[in-house]
Chains A and B, each alone.
Chain A
Amino acid sequence: GAVVSQHPSWVICKSGTSVKIECRSLDFQATTMFWYRQFPKQSLMLMATSNEGSKATYEQGVEKDKFLINHASLTLSTLTVTSAHPEDSSFYICSAREPQGRTKRLGETQYFGPGTRLLVL
């Protein structure tokens, strides 16, 4: 149990285009999903917290108009990198957590997707 998928696993796009990344919880419902960015040989940087049915909460320094997050259902959150530029190239990872009232099985744990590698040319 507790499987999280991401799609696509990697994407190459031209500068100025937009890219959408999907994050799905496959065997549990996730009212909260998190989006991270990871540069080579570095730790994960939290970009935003996505709550089902409400606006995402962005971390300081993250442009909300640049990184659009939608959490339309209990199993799906999407991250759209708008007007991508080469500096947006990175490894993007999502995680999902069960609703607070159902933490007996999974506790306070975040379960991570396999990541999406984005290369902007």
Chain B
Amino acid sequence: AQSVTQLGSHVSVSEGALVLLRCNYSSSVPPYLFWYVQYPNQGLQLLLKYTSAATLVKGINGFEAEFKKSETSFHLTKPSAHMSDAAEYFCAVSPPIYNQGGKLIFGQGTELSVKP
């Protein structure tokens, strides 16, 4: 069965500093991996996804993530934080579509705060 663990429910960085949000997964088959962002009282917006192509994935708003099979990780990074990056971030795993109908399994979420 698939599962996702996000280390740290809350991360605080200064504006301009590196953002690192951690995500580890467990999966019995090669998974698809996603990062979503949620602003207050809104739905989820896709940041980026890994679907077995390049292991370094670039997303929107300057975010990127690297799939490391040996570490079962898919950490999200951004070189320089902006105030507008403050939000809740969710890592999610999905088995291939032929298995379980493409359900998404979410991590617990990490709230990112950006200090001026």
By a beta-carbon cutoff of 8 Å, the part of chain A in contact with chain B is 4, 6, 32, 34, 42-44, 46, 49, 57, 91, 93, 95, 97, 100, 103, 107-115, 117
Contact = CB atoms under 8 A, between A and B. Distances in A.
B104 A34 contact: yes
Interface residues of B, number: 23
11 contacts: A6-B43, A43-B90, A43-B107, A43-B108, A57-B101, A108-B32, A108-B96, A108-B102, A109-B46, A109-B49, A115-B42
A100 B97 contact: yes
Interface of B: 32, 34, 36, 41-46, 49, 51, 90, 94, 96-97, 101-104, 106-109
Contacts of B97: 100, 103, 108
A49 B101 contact: yes
Contacts, number: 56
Contacts of A109: 34, 46, 49
B109 A42 contact: yes
A115 B51 contact: no
Nearest to A114: B43
B45 A112 contact: yes
Contact of A112 (B32, B36, B49, B51): B36
A112 B43 contact: yes
B101 A32 contact: yes
A108 B109 contact: no
Contacts of B90: 43-44
Contacts of A6: 43
